[in-house]
Amino acid sequence: MALTTLDGDRTSPSAADRFWQGKAALTFHKQGDRTLPEVQTQSPLKVQRPFYQDGSRVCQSVLLHTAGGMVGGDRLTYNIRLAEETHALITTAAAAKIYSRHPQPAQVNGTIYVSSGACLEWLPQEAIIFEGAQYHQSWRVDLAVDAHWLGWDILRLGRTARGERFYRGEVRSRFEVWQDGTPIWIDPQRLVGSENLWRSPHALKECPVIATMAWIGTHAEADWIDAARAAWETLPNPQLIAQSEVGVTRLQKGLLCRYRGHSTNQARRWFTTVWKQLRPRYAEPLKALPRVWQR
């Protein structure tokens, strides 16, 4: 792995006139039967050394955010490219935290390109949006005609353990996935915190966790959709299942899962079960979950 680090110079995340401008560029190429990364980072972003779990050929990379969280004005930029016939799984070492009390938004912008025969699994841990925080993210994914992308986004709105409700703050999110120049899935969202947003059955319905998982690359068969829906019913804790709502939709070339509920662990457990079902459709079966999740 080639690794380059360009350190930032902000001394404190509370400095009024300086904000983190973190960057991570990851380029994956094939060497023999393995995928290897070339990495360039700028603080506060770091990337752990890649590893290949249980003999898998899939390159697992773990992103670290050394500042411990984002404040308004911070910006993180990702540029990820996969060469032909490569397979990478990218996750994060911990949940992201978006702090409040600043008029500017914290921003995340990412571009991803996946070449022919390649696959990227973008599986970050959840983001916790403090009440009053502003968080904007924008992602553009471009796939070659026979490439695959599976990604999820799990958000907790407010620190539930502290009794926060998302009465203040804003979340803007936009995901675009294109394949061979054709738009497959474009998903813009905007949530402006208020009591009405929090309580409305057409919005959050007092659910602090919203999550989305999309898999794009191949036409999804009807039984794949049925299996994803059935996976939800097999999860433990019937009380949580009764308090939450999910949906599965077939996309033009792939499928989409939505979750609205009370538990980030429940959302990830369901997404992981669906991921295991889908993996043999585009790559080797999943042997084990990333070790960084196993705490």
pLDDT 10s digits, 250-287: 999 999 999 999 999 999 999 999 999 999 999 999 98
What's the token pair of residue 245? 């709502």
Sorted by sequence, the CB contacts under 8 Å of residue 119 that are 6+ apart come out as 82, 86, 87, 88, 147, 148, 149, 150, 217, 282, 283
Number of domains in the chain: 1
pLDDT band at 102 (very low <50, low <70, confident <90, very high): confident
pLDDT (mean) for 204-218: 97
Is position 103 within any domain?
A: yes
pLDDT for residue 192? 97
In a domain, 64, yes or no: no
Q: What domain range is 170 assigned to?
A: 80-293
The DSSP letter of residue 70 is B
Residue 13 lies in a domain: no
* pLDDT class of 1 with cuts at 50, 70, 90: low
- What is the spatial distance between Cα 295 and Cα 291, in angstroms, rounded to a whole number? 8
The predicted pLDDT at position 18 comes to: 74
In a domain, 211, yes or no: yes
Q: Quick: pLDDT tens for 24-34.
A: 999 999 998 89
Considering the domain boundaries, does residue 271 fall inside one?
yes
Residue 293, pLDDT score:
87
Evaluate whether residue 220 is within a structural domain: yes
Q: Contact 24/40 with Cβ under 8 angstroms?
A: yes
The mean of the pLDDT values for the chain is 92
**H helices of the chain, where?**
195-199, 222-233, 238-243, 264-282
